[in-house]
Structure 1
């Protein structure tokens, strides 16, 4: 007896549904669970948790901040790179800030609501560089940054729109009553910005300033990772922090540098990426040494 075509089609669809349910809903997950139990992989599958004196203090795969209750860096510890995940390194908010090279103009906060507004990527980098420079005792100056740690950016108005004499210039990232980083620009007095000001008619113009091309503060110290969870910092950032950590702990810089080398992982597969230092493991090693 030949089944109607519509019934044959439904039975075929049902068989495909059952097959893929068993294969992808049961067999494949069980296979992955089995692979995760292979020696060398089981620790990662369970979160690579790190314990100290029997207490879990973090994960080797997820970064964390080493700050006090007010959010200030604890000087005796190496500091992690910034994180864009929630309040920082939140596994439930993993992801990048999605800000790119053209993010140079801030949205100034309303005076009645200080939490409103947002910083551009440029201002975030400038502010972080200034703070790290003060912490490490080096210059935090960077090109296109003001001395007060915001992006050195003007909204420039010209007589003929995009051409002609400059009729007005506003430092869009410096809210009044701040003193603009430039007194004049092409003959026009530079103004500070107001939260309710409309500067969209001007040309956004970053101003380079006289900071050197290279900074002693490496890029990973002032930018977040794409996942917001990176537990590593560059060897250069670790080396920058070594004198401070050694001073705070009463150790020789050479001893701290040796610990950095011991906790530096090489390139993935020998050629991908750059060597990196796991901050949590390094700080635990410092505590153990003390």
Structure 2
């Protein structure tokens, strides 16, 4: 008796599913698991866990915050760079970038205002000038909505500091002869031209870029050497250690460029803080 073609076709499909289930669902994972247990690979496969006094305290691949219960920086520790992961900083369930770009400059949640606020806070913590170009002294984006007599050109009729809500005093008293207003909560200023104001801050701010911006994954465990050196005097002062000793520890926990030419030298924050605790 001849088997109908549709049964043969379905039988072949079932056999293919079973074969590939065994290969990709059992054999391949087993082989990869076996390779992961080889010397030199097992630590990385296990999450690159860092231990202190026999207890796991973190991973060398994932950053973490060094904050107190109120969310303030613990001054005796080096601080990590900001994280864009949702709900909690360095939440591995929400690894992602903020998706905000250089044109996000208007509003309290804009990238520019976030960067300005962080720079101001870091400057206050480290005792340096936290000023940055296109930031107000109050730590928001220095951005105006300018209304012209002819739409996109002509005489300025009105100027609004859109990142400073009333009753705040605008960072700029006047723009092209017109008094600058603070923004009314809920006000619609879309009809004006968006004008960022550079201000008189230095081209190279005292606060490094990685101190105010998150990494692409939101989980970067490293900071730049410049940011580490900025924090070193505070950490040395809080711990009663010589600054030279703290800087030597920074150097000891700095990794070189990958393959000698890719990327920039970086400092492992967790491992540096653990070394300080051992001191």
Compute the displacement of 1:188 (Å).
Answer: 1.7
- Asked if 1:176 is matched to 2:166, the reply is yes
How far, CA to CA, are the matches of 2:14 and 2:129 in structure 1? 68
Q: Deviations over 1:138-170 (max 9, x none)?
A: 111110000000000011111111111111111
Partner of 1:82: 82
Q: Deviations over 1:16-70 (max 9, x none)?
A: 2122211211122112211211212211222222222233222221111111111
How far, CA to CA, are the matches of 1:201 and 1:2 in structure 2? 77
How far, CA to CA, are the matches of 1:150 and 1:237 in structure 2? 22
Unaligned runs of 5+ in 1: 108-118
Partner of 2:67: 67
How far, CA to CA, are the matches of 1:211 and 1:199 in structure 2? 27
- Asked if 1:6 is matched to 2:3, the reply is no
Partner of 2:211: 221
Which residue of the other structure, out of 218, 243, 248, is the alignment partner of 2:238? 248
Which residue of the other structure, out of 134, 144, 147, is the alignment partner of 2:134? 144
How big is the alpha-carbon RMSD for the aligned residues of Structure 1 and Structure 2?
Answer: 1.4
Compute the displacement of 1:180 (Å).
Answer: 0.4
Partner of 1:234: 224
Q: How many residues align?
A: 278
Compute the displacement of 1:233 (Å).
Answer: 0.5
How far, CA to CA, are the matches of 1:284 and 1:249 in structure 2? 13
After superposing on structure 2, the runs of 4+ consecutive aligned residues of structure 1 that deviate more than 6 Å are: none
Q: Deviations over 1:63-88 (max 9, x none)?
A: 11111111111111100000011210
Q: Deviations over 1:227-251 (max 9, x none)?
A: 1111111111111111111111121
How far, CA to CA, are the matches of 2:256 and 2:35 in structure 1? 25
Q: How does 1:97-116 map to 2 (within 5 A)?
A: 97-107=98-108
Bigger Cα displacement from structure 2, 89-98 vs 32-41: 32-41
Compute the displacement of 1:270 (Å).
Answer: 3.2
Q: How does 1:1-290 map to 2 (within 5 A)?
A: 3-86=3-86, 87-107=88-108, 119-289=109-279
Q: Secondary structure at the match of 1:156?
A: strand
How far, CA to CA, are the matches of 2:255 and 2:30 in structure 1? 31
How far, CA to CA, are the matches of 1:165 and 1:199 in structure 2? 17
How far, CA to CA, are the matches of 1:207 and 1:265 in structure 2? 38
How far, CA to CA, are the matches of 2:47 and 2:231 in structure 1? 28
How far, CA to CA, are the matches of 1:28 and 1:205 in structure 2? 57
| TM-score normalised to structure 2 length | 0.95
How far, CA to CA, are the matches of 2:170 and 2:131 in structure 1? 17
